[in-house]
Structure 1
Amino acid sequence: MVTLPNSKVSSSVIVNYALPDVKLKIKIPISAAYGSDIKRVKEILIEIGCEAAARSKYVLSDPAPSAYFLEFGASSLDFMLIIWARAFNLAWDVQDYVNTRVYERFAEEGIEIPFPQMDVHMRE
């Protein structure tokens, strides 16, 4: 049992993750190098989401996973994979599974995961 003063309840935003539904929408940001095939990256992300639902006890197949190309970043093409976990306390398990599979699949497909780089030109 948790006791909260009325003043705290009335002056704060309270989020109840467990009711009325325990499932959780998880947004996983993914970056790919410039020059990557955008359609193929999105296909791979959807495949990973569907695979996670089929093989993992953590991920729901309904609602279906979705992938979006969000922006042209400073060093990368930025995507977002949206998947649903069975329960709010599984977010880290889901993200670990998905990130591991993204790393493996991108390596298999020859898609580079970028990191910030800077070219320096020196004049004499």
Structure 2
Amino acid sequence: MTEVAYKLVDRAEWSAARAAGVYAGSAVDLADGYIHLSTADQLAETARRHYAGRSDLVVVEVLLGTLGAALKWEASRGGDLFPHLHAPLPVRAARSERDLSVDGEGVMRFDDGGVGWP
């Protein structure tokens, strides 16, 4: 598997999580009972499918080795294994974060001028 995964998060939600030290998850995460993460190879399609037209987002790079047994690799889209965190995400597990928006076509547009992924 991989050492890192990524979470697209509303900027305001991530700011609140940083203050609290933990991210409980988005409304979708809470409804599903786990925090959805994506590998680097899965992230662009996740952005396209679920975040098109959204702005004020942050992509958080998560160190998977810090998550313990709450991290499970489970089949999802097309049978791909996705990392799902069955617990709140500790902010200390974030290795980096980068501001972005996802345009109407589903392309990630980073606030620093970068387009696409990575």
TM-score, scaled to structure 1: 0.26
Which structure has the larger Rg over C-alpha atoms? 1
Structure whose residues are more often strand by fraction: 2
Q: TM-score, normalised by structure 2?
A: 0.27
